[in-house]
Amino acid sequence: MRRVKRRDTKPELLLRSALWRRRLRYRLHAKNLPGTPDVVFPGIRLAVFVHGCFWHRHPGCVRASTPRSNVEFWTTKFDANVARDARNVEELTKLGWHTFVVWECEAYDAQALERVADAIERLVRPVP
């Protein structure tokens, strides 16, 4: 697990690239916010998390498989990750922030990534 990257992962870089192409400017890895969101738009108080399907248990995704060995360890680990994610979103909401979760499988699918980037752009630049 030491080799699992915490920041600047491929899905995160794909999302950041899509947002940058839309001329959306953001901050990275806000350590002062619960959960250290991957992408932050401080002006509108929007925190974007890029979750790996395996680690954060994307419901219905084939990437969210459970290893066959040491099942109890992995189940406990995954449950703790999901609970921590929910706690972070709740804390951000209490602080007046909006949250947006992008899943790894969405980032790897070009069409899904465009839809996600469009949704974020609509939040950042609302149509009058």
pLDDT digits (tens, 9 = 90+) for 57-86: 999 999 999 999 999 999 999 999 999 999
At residue 7, what is the residue type?
R
The domain of 51 spans 10-121
User: How many Cβ atoms from other residues are within 10 Å of residue 41's Cβ?
Assistant: 21
How does residue 1 score in pLDDT terms, banded at 50, 70 and 90?
low
Question: What CATH number does the domain containing 48 carry?
Answer: 3.40.960.10
Of 9, 13, 24, 39, the residue nearest 118 (C-alpha): 24
Q: Is the pLDDT of residue 5 over 80?
A: no
Q: Do the domain assignments include residue 2?
A: no
Q: What domain count does the chain have?
A: 1
| Helices 10-21 + 110-124 axis angle, to 10 | 50
Of 71, 77, 70, the residue nearest 4 (C-alpha): 77
User: How many Cβ atoms from other residues are within 10 Å of residue 47's Cβ?
Assistant: 26
Tokens of 128: 């009058």
Q: Do the domain assignments include residue 128?
A: no
* Residue linked to tokens 């890029």: 50
